[in-house]
Amino acid sequence: MKVNLQELFEGQKNTIDIEVQEPYKNFNCYNEEISFKEPVVFRGQAYRVNHEVFLKATVEGVALLKCHRCLTPFEQRIVHHIQERVTVGNHEQDEEDELFSVQDYLLDVSDIIENSLVLAFPMKVVCDENCKGLCLVCGTDLNENPCECEKSEIDPRLLKLKDLLQKD
C-alpha cells in the first residue's frame, strides 16, 4: 500500500492521516514463519513543518508464536513507534534511508510495516520469562509437572569427580 504525499511536499496540506491494515500470513522473521491474529494496523500521520515532511506512526499487531522452550502456542502484541523525516528519494541513498524516502511522492507503507515488525520482534520467544521449558530427557512440560529426570542429571565435572572417588 502506497500513500501519496505530494500535497504535503508542495504545501497544499499540512497533515495527512494514514491508516492501513494488512493481513500477514507466514511472515518470515529471523527464519521463523509467523502469522498474525488480526490484520496488522499502521496508524499515524504525515505532517509538514518548516518545509520538511515527517512521519509519526504506530504499527501494531498480535503475533501467533510458539514458545521456544515449551513449544506452547501463545499470542504476543508487537508494537513499533515510528518518528522519521520523509525525504524525496534519489539514487545515492543507502537502504535504510530508502524506507522513508519517496519516489514520485509515494510512501511505501507496506515496506515500513514489514520493517517495523522485524524491528519490534521479541528477542526471546518465550511464553513467560520464567517458562521452565520441556525436560530434555523425557520431554515433560516442566511448567505443568516436575519429572524425575532432574535427580539423575549431574554436572559432568562432578560426574568425573564421582568416578575418581569410587575408584579409591
Using CB under 5 A, list all residues that contact Zn ion: 67, 69-70, 127, 131, 135, 137-138, 140, 147, 149
Least distance (Å) from Zn ion to the CB of residue 66?
Answer: 9
**What grid cell was written down for 130?**
520464567
Beta carbon nearer to Zn ion, 52 or 128 = 128
Taking every pair of Cα atoms in the chain, the longest distance, rounded to a whole number of angstroms, is: 91
The values of phi and psi at residue 32, to 5°, are -125, 135
Beta carbon nearer to Zn ion, 19 or 148 = 148
Beta carbon nearer to Zn ion, 120 or 147 = 147
Bridge partners, residue 40, by sequence: 22
Q: Which residues contact 22 (CB under 8 A, 6 or more apart)?
A: 1, 39, 40, 42, 110, 113
Which residue is listed with cell 505443568?
144
Beta carbon nearer to Zn ion, 17 or 144 = 144
- Distance separating alpha carbons of residues 85 and 106, to the nearest angstrom: 14
Q: Which residues contact 128 (CB under 8 A, 6 or more apart)?
A: none
**What grid cell was written down for 128?**
513467560
Least distance (Å) from Zn ion to the CB of residue 79?
Answer: 21
- Distance separating alpha carbons of residues 19 and 152, to the nearest angstrom: 57
Least distance (Å) from Zn ion to the CB of residue 67?
Answer: 3
Least distance (Å) from Zn ion to the CB of residue 143?
Answer: 6
Least distance (Å) from Zn ion to the CB of residue 25?
Answer: 24
Beta carbon nearer to Zn ion, 41 or 147 = 147
